[in-house]
Structure 1
Amino acid sequence: MRLKIYSSKTLLFFCISLLFTTITCSQNSYYFNFNTNNGLPSAQCYHTYEDSKGYLWFTTDRGISKYDGNTFYSYLVEDGLANLVNFKFYPDPLKKDAFWVNGFDGSFSYWNGEKFSPFTFNLDLLKLKSKGSWFQIFNIKKNTIYFFEVFAKNKTQCPEIYYKINTTTGKIDSYTFTKDTEVGKNLSSEVLYTLKNCGNETRTSNFLIHSLFDQKGNYWELTREGAFFYEKGDTLISPTTYFKNIPISSLYEDSKGSYWFTSLNNGVFYVPSLVVKKINLHEFSDSFCNLIKNYNDALILSFNEQGKSIIISPEGKIFKIDLYKEDNDTQISKKLNLITTDLEDVLPYSYNQFRITKKHLLVKRGSSFLVNEYLSGKQISSKQYDIKTTNFLKDTHGKLWIGAIDGLYSLTITDSLQLVKEPFLDTEIPIRVNDITQSSEGFWIATLSRGLYFKKETSYNLYQIPSLRNQSIQSLCQENDTTLWIGTNKGLHKVKYNYTNEKPKIKSSEIFTIDDGLPSNFINDMILWNDKLYIATDKGVGYFNPSELIKNAREPKLVIDKIFINGKEVEYKLSYNKLTFNENTITINFTGIIHHKPVHPNYFFRYKVNDSDWNYTNSSSINFNTLPHGIYKISVQCQNNSGNWSVPKTVQFIIPPHFTRHWLFITTLLFIIGFTTIKLIRWRIHIIKKRAKQNIAFKEAQLAVLRNQMNPHFVFNSLNTLQDYIFEGNAIGANDYITSFSSLMRKSLEFSKLESITLQEEIAFIKNYLSLEQQRFQGKFRFEIHQSSSIEGSILIPPLLVQPLVENAIKHAFKKNRSEEGMIEVNYKPLNQDTILIEIVDNGDGFQYKKPPHTSNTHTSLGIEIIQERIRLINEKKGVTIAHLKYLVKSKGTHIQLILPKY
């Protein structure tokens, strides 16, 4: 929260117009005040400490508070403090971010980096101390605390003795104290100064609370009436007073060079820089100042909100005037010792008037401007231009340049006024010109949305300024021919450049914000006056010596606070954390430390996962739900009001895949599946082969059976023939027949056991059979057997398939009462490379294998049926239909074709 600072001299302003006062302008630095409204447990504070993470700690009479730049966190007795009231911090030299504090009752408390705990031997300390006193630590060594007794009624009294206590055993030893006593090398400058100057008279008449030298060598006296500052090398005669009439209890200079003041009744004051001063003007101190300009060495400040202006004379006198009064010019000119004899001496007291020539005055009025012409102090003409202007610049050649909301204009004052719109950024969208300033080589032009341009003659060049966070520029100020100051709504930029080929070349740029002591980041206007740069902001007017304003490396710090996995807090490390596959809901809590609450409108945090784009947020935690397996590197940053990003903090972890997705599991599974598949295929092939073998064996068995069936069939017919010989009494014929029959039967028995026989064996068997049958049926038929010359006799064919067909021809083709001699031909021909064609042709009465439908004849040729079954089994065994039996229709006789495979 921003509070007004009371200056060393009271400023009195009359609230009515035309009244003025001549007081000296009081000066103080800008600061921020933190109290109970901001989260401090109490406005009574005693000491400040900064740990390595960037957290600031404050002791109060109601506990200890930790501050991250945005929120105060309080620690009380129930959080481990030995006493609610504590005074000073003493860092532990052996452990990072650990410290001791001394309590009002004489006790000590210890912060180990994570929590507070009372000192183990506090009861021994309480027995040692006197009434109305406490112990102040002044040095800490390994396992030893050095301390002395402080009395509440006389804090400046020098101690006569000091003590040391062993933090392990609790043993307490006492020693006589002298100024020359050597108690260690770990004394802070603050404690060492107190010991060396204990009991000395102060340099002020105020009630001294503390004195010290800061890191820059400046001397401070902290009193009940404020803080007195003596700059290094000063004679200590005329100090600068800060926080007048406020009891300041301690001063701490942080790692960035900023100052923290604790007070006994107003909380904590944060001063980013002592370089930037503010002008205390009571009701104008924090008001919106929209314009600053100078005239005759006087400074004119225009405050748009109140409709008032402030004049500061070269002697430091301040005058408040009303913009709407007509006679202010004369009265203020007289007070500034100016003689108003003609128009040349009229003071343009407000932002709406601008001197053009001795006779011409430009007056800004509403949405347009006027050019008034005077003669002998009297207005003789006026010309109005309907151009919405923003600023004016009179160059070294007398030409007037006008920045407007729709571009840039030039106005030449001659006998007639010539207004010309410059061809600047000739686009369809009007470009607002917010400010113009002249350099030795041309003009710098600030635009609202297009950034910074440099104009030289008729050329315009756009410049990219590294520190600019957007292209909206409010104001410009040329410090010298190599330095340009740029005011924006997000800070003040210092640009260094030089000229190359008569054109500026940017060398460097840096941004200054409230983190560097500015009253605000919104810079409306600025001007160099008396070697100081004055800036008009929406929070009052500040000024500084441009050479003293040094950019501090105020990078914020980010701390990873907690990590939750599946809703449970876990210990973590910043390097890779190996999780399980189902630990995939991650929450990360973090804190950005910037020393005071961010005020810029941008996001405060950003994070990214691996190499993805940054995600911006104002939340101090990020949550990832059901993350897929993978390697994760989550980087988090925070930024301060200057736009500086902290060093990234990263959390790295690995979420392994479910074991079913692990390459080893998948490889093993694929191996098992492949192995099992191969096994199943092999098993199936084995089964198929086994079944095929079984089937083949079965078929062969069936064939064997069928082949064997041929023997009894043939035997039956032969016995019938032998019976006829016996009935006829032909013993010799029966004997010859029995001899031929027995020879044929031996061959039949041999062939019935074989799957195949040679063609020669087949033909010989058929020839023997036909000869035997010819003997049986004498004079009934004759036969011929033909073998094609293109077929070899060594080929293999199935046995005993032709004999039943020849037998049927003999039995059914030639009747007993037939007069014509029968004829049977058996022809063996090659059909193709895999089959052989066997034809059985007779000239008999014919034979129908298939019975006509609806016939009463029930006789069926058993031999033909056996042949058909054998052909079917042969085809099944081969897996293809290759064997056939065909009866060709003829007008006389029978023609049978038997196609058999070659084995």
Structure 2
Amino acid sequence: MNYKKLHITIYFVLIWSFSFAQQFLNYSTKDGLPSNHVYTIVQDAKGFMWFLTDKGMARYNGKTFKTFTTKNGLPINDVWDALPTPDGKVWYLSKTPKLGYIQNDTVVSFSNQAKNQIINPIYSSQVGDSVYPTEPHKIFSLQNNKWVALLNSTYKTQSNERITIKHGLVSSIVLNRSGQLKLYNKQEQKINTITTTGIYGTTGTRGQLNDSLFFWTNQKSYFILNLNTHHLKHVDLKQAIGLNTVDNLRVNVVDNQVQVSGSGFVAKLNQDLEIVDPYFFPKNIDAHFGFIDKLNTIWLATFNNGIYKLPYVKQKAKYHLLNHKIQSFNCIDSSLVVGVYQKGFYKFKDGIFHELISDNDYVYGASHLKLNNINFYAFRNTLIKEKKGKKTIVKVDDLQSNDLLANEVGRKFVCHNHKIYSNFSFGINRINASSLKIEKEFKQRGVNDLISFKNRLLIATNNGLKEVVNDTLKPVIFSNIVFDKPILNIKLVDNNKLLINTDGFGAYLSDLKIIQPLALTDYLIVEDAFIADNIIWLATNTGVLKFKKVKDNYQYEKRFTVSDGLPTNHIKRLYVDQNNLILGTNNGIAILPKNQKNVPQLLDVYIANATYNSKAINQKKSAFKYSKNNSINITVDNIDFSDNNTNLTYQFKLQPSQKQWVSSNTNVFNFNNLQPDDYVFYVKSGSIKKQLKFTILPLWWQLLWVKILLTLLSITIIILSVWKLSKKSQEKKNNKLIQDKKLSEIQLKALRSQMNPHFVFNSLSAIQYYINNNQIEASEAYLVKFSKLIRQFFELSKETDISLKEEVGLITNYLDIEKLRFKDKFDYQINISETIKVNQVNLPTMLLQPIVENAINHGIFNKVEKGKVTININEAKNHAIKIEIIDDGVGFVNTIKKTNRKIKSSNVLHDRLRFLNKSGQWNVTYSVKALHPNHEDKGNVSTFLISKNN
């Protein structure tokens, strides 16, 4: 055997031994596989894993299996191979008259054009999205939804075999007994001849891998022909990987890289189509086919135990002492010494754990004492002392004093002040360094660890940190907090600081003056720690945590979990060398590269199910009619092959209802009472983002144009209603004004009709007076003037207003009559301003007559001397007319007070003024005052301010 073969053999043996101990995950019918009889494994374009079994096809997303059988549309359940294409289809191959594919959970089948004839596609080819099922003598192509056998099909004679090829230049390959491989084009012209051996007449598989590669296999080798370069690659398995024969040898393409696999191994091929880094199946796994997926996870198919999975991170890991509980890790003589439950102690050297002390007793730990250069290996019932490589068993009874109860000598031993101290179940022992006899026992329940630090002996207990002071156990007092947490172990960080690890309360750093928590370790169970090169490694119940020193603080850097290759997240013991993490668990030891990068196992996020009121929303845009209290339910899933893929966090939003991303730990999203609109549901995790579009169509009354029309109609109705109400209100106001105006006119007319008899009565009384006194001439003169005044009054009483000239004429006639009646007892004078045009200025009819009448009858009539009435008419501001009626009588205001009666004409005047102002045509104010307030005969001044509204 040459050097290459020897190297391969040694490599194979080492890999086999390592692989045997590696931890696989096994999936079987108990996990959801339809059968434990698995033919082969493929991965589709999206990243789903597919397992082909005798009871159907199973699709796996890293969490759940979805099975496709005849119930879902498969023509047969016994499916032994599949070809995934870039367009997302998975073409199933089996002996049946129908073949087809699965896409988006839908099974599609196509029948053989030769009715009811079974297709036996034991050799099949794939070029891009096209699949060509191939029998030993036929190749089928899908045409018009039927499988059609090609005219230039595969055939075999006694001397040669022709294979149809789907290629731009090469249309067929002919093999003959002499070992010649001839290439022909579409015109049946020979392109090239290649001489080879081992292809013709051997059993195995063959097929076209893509548009440029065609392969053949047998039990001893594989051949791959490059259709572009016409280069034929022949690889002998014995020379390549040291295997003489391999059953079920197959070649396939995964993620644009060629793989080869059969019973015993799986490997990728390099650019030269040679095997690199083969993975050999463990002997205890009877696998016949291996598959390396896009994330370099290895999947193994068996005929009786289902599927085995080995993630890439665990391929680099090594496992030792499997199924054994690891009790302790200790550094003795610069080497790692491991205590194993009921096995004894093992020493780690050159990557192998060598048995150091074998004992089926309960193991505690190993301790090295610098004081006398002794190593102690402690068991429950035995203590082994080692000095200069010589091991002796120390009798426990010989070490105990007579006054002590029987107890363990110790579990861990430390030197302090030239004495040896050890912990046991119920306290601390102080041991003489020379004789090793127990000198004193310090009783304390729940002691877990002890350490000598700054000339102080510190004890880790279930009730905080204690120390030995003057042969007494006392609690350590910190200046910042009271610390009474259960301590599992204490580690030396440096000369000034300790790391204190607790059971369920995290890790703490302390200089024994103050104690502070280590960031991000709250409520962790810290089982062990390793400190070197300014790095703290913690073994916890959630994995291994790494902290790096930055200046004076330790900052969190990374957490190692099962996704990084840990056999479990609960790590009991921890040791770190130059390259590896060595981890102790309840099921053995795992060794991982400490600088290994975590490979994300999340391949895709997808919408598994979406419904609107229980109606499916497909991946294309869907439209649904609006319904009240509608419900949208969306289930999101992922393709994630990590060991703990249940804690994935999603971010989502439903536009246009939601503008901001919302985080969620659930994969089910519900939306209710959505209004008609175009919606887009977005979901993402990490860098993967997906969306789903759907539309809720409005009902007829929810359409935009209907809403606009209804809005306009409503506005119109409102406007018309308001207009009608306003109009009606205005009409009421107008009617009221008209009625008030008519009422005012009626009242004015009534007042004028009231004044006419009053004036007539006064005048007739005067005439009667003259007649009774036989003053015929006076009565005749009076009567003439009276008749003239009556005629004038009747003519003007029909008018609501008269000119100032006419009013002055009327008053003049009236005063003349009253002067006759009073026998010239008074004089009168009317003064009109020259600026007033008496013909153009109007006044309300007979407005002045009642005041003049009061001035004569109530003012001058009661005066002894002769009186006088003066009427002044002047122009006032704002085109108003000021009229003053002045008499020098006794004053009719005083007369009213003395007689205690009202003047009827005055009441009539006030009513008339009120109605005149109310009519809106006039503004009339009236006032009266005494002419001479300090004289007995005061007289009166009555003043009108009259203006007419335009």
Call closer, same or farther: CA 1:839–1:86 in 2, change over 3 Å.
farther
Counterpart of 1:593?
639
- 2:439 is the counterpart of 1:381: yes
Equivalent of residue 526 in structure 1, options 540, 565, 574: 574
**Amino acid paired to 1:560:** I
- 2:742 is the counterpart of 1:698: yes
Counterpart of 2:148?
171
Counterpart of 1:147?
133
The answer to whether the 8 A contact 1:259-1:272 is kept is: yes
TM superposition shift of 1:422: 6.6
The answer to whether the 8 A contact 1:104-1:134 is kept is: yes
The one-character-per-residue Cα deviations of 1:459-499 (angstroms, maximum 9, x if unpaired) are 9786657xx79765443234x5265533222222345x476
Q: 1:220 & 1:317 partners in 2: Cα distance? A: 37
Call closer, same or farther: CA 1:431–1:312 in 2, change over 3 Å.
same
Equivalent of residue 813 in structure 2, options 755, 760, 768: 768
Counterpart of 1:196?
223
TM superposition shift of 1:798: 3.4
TM superposition shift of 1:524: 1.9
Call closer, same or farther: CA 1:456–1:581 in 2, change over 3 Å.
farther
List aligned pairs for 1:394-409, cutoff 5 A: 403-405=460-462
Which secondary structure does the structure 2 equivalent of 1:742 belong to? helix
Counterpart of 1:491?
543
**Amino acid paired to 2:575:** I
TM superposition shift of 1:106: 6.5
List aligned pairs for 1:74-85, cutoff 5 A: 74-85=67-78
TM superposition shift of 1:102: 0.7
Which region of structure 1 is more displaced relative to structure 2, 803-812 or 272-281? 803-812
Call closer, same or farther: CA 1:361–1:808 in 2, change over 3 Å.
closer
**Amino acid paired to 2:101:** Y
**Amino acid paired to 1:798:** P
Counterpart of 1:92?
85
TM superposition shift of 1:744: 7.2
Counterpart of 1:513?
561
TM superposition shift of 1:806: 5.0
Counterpart of 2:391?
340
Call closer, same or farther: CA 1:75–1:428 in 2, change over 3 Å.
same
TM superposition shift of 1:266: 1.0
List aligned pairs for 1:690-839, cutoff 5 A: 690-691=734-735, 693-695=737-739, 697-699=741-743, 701-702=745-746, 705-706=749-750, 709=753, 713=757, 734=780, 738=784, 741-742=787-788, 745-746=791-792, 749-750=795-796, 752-755=798-801, 758=804, 762=807, 765-775=810-820, 777=821, 779=823, 781-784=825-828, 798-804=844-850, 806=852, 825=869
- Higher RCO (C-alpha 8 Å, min separation 6): 1
The answer to whether the 8 A contact 2:543-2:571 is kept is: yes
What's the RMSD between the two structures over aligned residues?
6.3
Q: 2:425 & 2:144 partners in 1: Cα distance? A: 76
Counterpart of 1:428?
482
Call closer, same or farther: CA 1:51–1:392 in 2, change over 3 Å.
farther
TM superposition shift of 1:520: 0.6
Q: 2:863 & 2:428 partners in 1: Cα distance? A: 151
Q: 1:492 & 1:660 partners in 2: Cα distance? A: 61
The answer to whether the 8 A contact 2:485-2:505 is kept is: yes
The one-character-per-residue Cα deviations of 1:803-851 (angstroms, maximum 9, x if unpaired) are 2465588789999xx9978867567799x9999775778679999999x
TM superposition shift of 1:265: 1.2
Which region of structure 1 is more displaced relative to structure 2, 629-638 or 736-745? 629-638
The answer to whether the 8 A contact 2:128-2:211 is kept is: no
- 2:617 is the counterpart of 1:570: yes
TM superposition shift of 1:357: 8.4
Unaligned stretches of 5+ in structure 2? 1-11, 155-161, 164-172, 176-180, 184-206, 225-233, 365-376, 396-407
The one-character-per-residue Cα deviations of 1:209-234 (angstroms, maximum 9, x if unpaired) are 335699899987542xx65789999x
List aligned pairs for 1:6-45, cutoff 5 A: 27-45=20-38
Q: 2:297 & 2:691 partners in 1: Cα distance? A: 28
Q: 2:409 & 2:315 partners in 1: Cα distance? A: 28
TM superposition shift of 1:526: 1.1
Q: 1:527 & 1:172 partners in 2: Cα distance? A: 65
Counterpart of 1:261?
300
Q: 2:443 & 2:922 partners in 1: Cα distance? A: 110
Call closer, same or farther: CA 1:341–1:291 in 2, change over 3 Å.
closer
List aligned pairs for 1:170-249, cutoff 5 A: 170-173=147-150, 174-175=153-154, 176-177=162-163, 186=210, 196=223, 204=243, 208-210=247-249, 222-223=262-263, 242-249=281-288
Q: 1:861 & 1:529 partners in 2: Cα distance? A: 131
TM superposition shift of 1:521: 1.0
**Amino acid paired to 2:41:** T
TM superposition shift of 1:271: 1.3
Q: 1:742 & 1:629 partners in 2: Cα distance? A: 92
- 2:333 is the counterpart of 1:293: no
TM superposition shift of 1:27: 4.6
- 2:528 is the counterpart of 1:475: yes
Equivalent of residue 535 in structure 1, options 583, 587, 593: 583
Call closer, same or farther: CA 1:166–1:218 in 2, change over 3 Å.
closer
Call closer, same or farther: CA 1:451–1:589 in 2, change over 3 Å.
same
Q: 2:697 & 2:77 partners in 1: Cα distance? A: 49
TM superposition shift of 1:38: 1.4
Call closer, same or farther: CA 1:628–1:440 in 2, change over 3 Å.
farther
Q: 2:863 & 2:347 partners in 1: Cα distance? A: 164
- 2:102 is the counterpart of 1:111: yes
**Amino acid paired to 1:588:** I
TM superposition shift of 1:332: 11
Q: 1:738 & 1:444 partners in 2: Cα distance? A: 143
The answer to whether the 8 A contact 2:378-2:410 is kept is: no
- 2:135 is the counterpart of 1:135: no
The one-character-per-residue Cα deviations of 1:279-322 (angstroms, maximum 9, x if unpaired) are 465653xx5x453335458765456xx77656357564554521
The one-character-per-residue Cα deviations of 1:99-153 (angstroms, maximum 9, x if unpaired) are 21112436422123341111x2346496364xxx5434331345x423333xxxx
Which secondary structure does the structure 1 equivalent of 2:301 belong to? strand
Q: 1:652 & 1:439 partners in 2: Cα distance? A: 57
Q: 1:805 & 1:329 partners in 2: Cα distance? A: 140
Which secondary structure does the structure 2 equivalent of 1:209 belong to? coil
User: How many residues are treated as equivalent by the alignment?
Assistant: 820
Unaligned stretches of 5+ in structure 1? 1-7, 10-23, 150-158, 639-644
Q: TM-score, normalised to structure 2's length?
A: 0.67
Q: 1:77 & 1:45 partners in 2: Cα distance? A: 17
Identical positions, percent? 17
The one-character-per-residue Cα deviations of 1:589-639 (angstroms, maximum 9, x if unpaired) are 222433267487x6866767857796654x43132444699999876566x
The answer to whether the 8 A contact 1:809-1:842 is kept is: yes
Call closer, same or farther: CA 1:841–1:34 in 2, change over 3 Å.
farther
Q: 1:781 & 1:720 partners in 2: Cα distance? A: 17
Q: 1:682 & 1:717 partners in 2: Cα distance? A: 53
TM superposition shift of 1:523: 1.5
Equivalent of residue 93 in structure 2, options 73, 84, 102: 102
The one-character-per-residue Cα deviations of 1:713-772 (angstroms, maximum 9, x if unpaired) are 4578768988999998969975885477537744763475244754x7645532321103
Q: TM-score, normalised to structure 1's length?
A: 0.70
Call closer, same or farther: CA 1:293–1:88 in 2, change over 3 Å.
farther
**Amino acid paired to 1:44:** H
Equivalent of residue 623 in structure 1, options 670, 683, 686: 670
More strand by share: 2
Equivalent of residue 315 in structure 2, options 275, 287, 299: 275
